[in-house]
A and B are shown apart, each in its own frame.
Chain A
């Protein structure tokens, strides 16, 4: 006999929004931001997504009404994480089904004025610090439908604030977890480095089970004041039932340096809009991507490197391995403003196809208004070379083992750019797991 469960109505309508707002009890400025964003969201819902960004990403099967923001606090689920047990961290925080654990932070750092905790708490306790930065400069609600949706419904997430000239040597760690079937996660990562500060934040996403469906509508804002240094890593490792949409942006002031590594291993469908803005003279950004899609996964990136100031440098290297029926899309753009003379911009995407039925779309692009710049881009796409396989087999490696070695070698060039050893190891380990050899 069939049992009929009551179907949910649209989970993100006005009623739900009002209930959500009421449940949050937030300062007025936060509520105002949300209301404004919700209005924009409703407007943008009625209009088309930017075809340039979305035409290769089919989300017709996406049903927002199947997901909702969890209201009840569930007992903590066990997560098979890549990083959590790996190292001594200067700070540690988890967000499971949008519920944040109390953050741990090295006492010395707390004394120096470092803030590390959940966004939900910090808008209450340190609104003055956050207000100038939260969704004002990097990711704004009017960017697109997903940014607006996120801005209206953000559920928490990790905040790191590092005061002027404070250097944090050890990495900090943040976990975003989904446990309940149908749960929606709207976490927001906000990192603010004041002048001369430096920090490393390692963030990973994980699912408690391999079967729970989920939704992530996230945002990442990385705000680097002059001469600051940030290494930010996000490894997206959801199960393959999760829809992942994210708007992520970094703003880099004069002589500051951002190193940003994105690992994409999981999700049913992931689309990330990732931007770096080189806003001050001498700013630099290095963007690394390691993507491995298998089965029926679709992993899509829309990346922009925007040079707004002279003598700025950006260097993007994405490597994707695609297998089975999976698909990868990368649309990259370097934009150079009129005044950004002596810009050095680079973008490159290399793809390795492991099956006849997978697909990669890699489209680099340049928009340059300055006249004294050096901008280069490139994309390569190919299958594992049979002569390489033959050579390895002649040395006693079985075909699959040889294939795996070649795949790991393919990613090695990205690992070589990452100074944090634990990140190199973790990415390697994630790839090995996915290859089924560890």
Chain B
């Protein structure tokens, strides 16, 4: 039976300001969903909320995997249940080797009951597996010995996220603008990488402005988010239309959300002025 990630009427605030205002979404393992929307509409907020970033406060609504509520679980527990976020801006962890980091991560994800100090997966098996995945993604195996994201280029960081996705094989993967800030070669590499990985065992939510990632990974569903609500859902052709024509038509079809969006932007820019 395939797993289901179910988001119901999700309301989320950041610093007591409402950002998501009732998002509902169902993603099954094996499905690819695209989430598109203008800047500030709440795409990244949804991504961070799903994996449990403490800054994002769920004021109402639920997130469940196969009926198990995630709302009160910390990011580690969610990861062990199969959630994964490929970060838009992955952090650097100085002095921690990619291989060591991933060996801890893989052990925990495959053995969700593991406590710290309990044994890690055998080094030999792990090394081989890591080497195989790196070669499949066209990565230099030397990267395994480097410190996590330290001195990595933008493209290398994104590729490292995809490598982690490959090693952890989550049930649900959220890709937060994994294709942003990359040259077209790098976009191709991560797009192909994702295509190899996404299969019947993975539900994927792709947050993107670009079309390239979606060309390689054609979504069955495209959702448009505006001012914290999903206002339209369609198929791949909707993503295509948004890419070619922008959000003007969407705003016209949803004048109430468009007005909210404008209001929100005014408040934000005023706040920025005050802050300056």
B109 lies within 8 A of chain A by Cβ: yes
Tell me the bound Cα distance from A135 to B105 in angstroms: 53
Closest to A409 in B: B95
Contact A393 B93, beta carbon cutoff 8 Å: no
Q: Which residues of A contact B87 (CB under 8 A)?
A: 391, 394
Tell me the bound Cα distance from A396 to B105 in angstroms: 5
Q: Which residues of A contact B116 (CB under 8 A)?
A: 398, 400-401, 404, 437
Tell me the bound Cα distance from A411 to B96 in angstroms: 10
B63 lies within 8 A of chain A by Cβ: no
Q: Which residues of A contact B105 (CB under 8 A)?
A: 395-397
Tell me the bound Cα distance from A390 to B53 in angstroms: 7
Contact A408 B109, beta carbon cutoff 8 Å: no
Contacting B at CB under 8 A, from A386-423, are 386-388, 390-402, 404-406, 408-413
Tell me the bound Cα distance from A346 to B100 in angstroms: 31
Number of interface residues of A (CB under 8 A): 28
Tell me the bound Cα distance from A385 to B93 in angstroms: 10
Contact A411 B79, beta carbon cutoff 8 Å: no
**A386 → chain B, closest Cβ, in Å?**
8
Contact A393 B74, beta carbon cutoff 8 Å: yes
A23 lies within 8 A of chain B by Cβ: no
Pick the contact of A391 from B80, B91, B102, B147 — CB < 8 Å?
Answer: B91
A438 lies within 8 A of chain B by Cβ: yes
Contact B117 A437, beta carbon cutoff 8 Å: yes
Q: Which of B85, B102, B112, B117 has the most chain A CB atoms inside 10 A of its CB? A: B117
Q: Using C-beta atoms within 8 Å of the partner chain, give the interface range for chain B.
A: 20 to 34
Q: Which of A391, A394, A413 has the most chain B CB atoms inside 10 A of its CB? A: A394
B168 lies within 8 A of chain A by Cβ: yes
Given contacts A390-B54, A405-B101, contact A413 B79 (CB under 8 A): no
**B169 → chain A, closest Cβ, in Å?**
12
Q: Which of A385, A396, A398, A400 has the most chain B CB atoms inside 10 A of its CB? A: A396
Given contacts A394-B51, A394-B85, contact A406 B76 (CB under 8 A): no
Pick the contact of B93 from A388, A396, A398 — CB < 8 Å?
Answer: A388
Contacting B at CB under 8 A, from A170-201, are none
**Count of CB-CB pairs between chains A and B under 8 Å:** 89
**A413 → chain B, closest Cβ, in Å?**
6
Contact B76 A399, beta carbon cutoff 8 Å: yes
Q: Which of B75, B101, B115 has the most chain A CB atoms inside 10 A of its CB? A: B75
Contact A398 B76, beta carbon cutoff 8 Å: yes
Tell me the bound Cα distance from A386 to B101 in angstroms: 17
Q: Which residues of B contact A410 (CB under 8 A)?
A: 94-95
B90 lies within 8 A of chain A by Cβ: yes
Tell me the bound Cα distance from A185 to B78 in angstroms: 53
**A431 → chain B, closest Cβ, in Å?**
12
Closest to A412 in B: B95
Q: Which residues of A contact B83 (CB under 8 A)?
A: 394
Closest to B53 in A: A390
Closest to B164 in A: A395
Q: Which residues of A contact B96 (CB under 8 A)?
A: 405-406, 408-409, 412
Contact B95 A411, beta carbon cutoff 8 Å: yes
Q: Which residues of B contact A399 (CB under 8 A)?
A: 74, 76
Q: Which residues of B contact A411 (CB under 8 A)?
A: 95
Contact with A along B201-242 (1 / 0, CB 8 A): 000000000000000000000000000000000000000000
Closest to B111 in A: A396
Given contacts A396-B104, A413-B95, A437-B116, 15 further A-B contacts (CB under 8 A): A386-B54, A387-B91, A391-B93, A394-B75, A394-B85, A395-B101, A402-B76, A404-B116, A405-B101, A408-B95, A409-B93, A409-B147, A412-B94, A412-B95, A413-B94
Interchain residue pairs with CB less than 8 A apart (21) = A387-B91, A388-B91, A388-B93, A392-B93, A394-B52, A394-B75, A394-B76, A394-B87, A395-B104, A395-B109, A395-B164, A396-B112, A398-B76, A405-B93, A405-B96, A405-B100, A408-B96, A409-B147, A410-B95, A412-B94, A437-B117
A-B pairs, top 8 by smallest CB distance, nearest first, are A409-B95, A412-B95, A396-B108, A409-B96, A395-B105, A393-B75, A393-B76, A396-B79
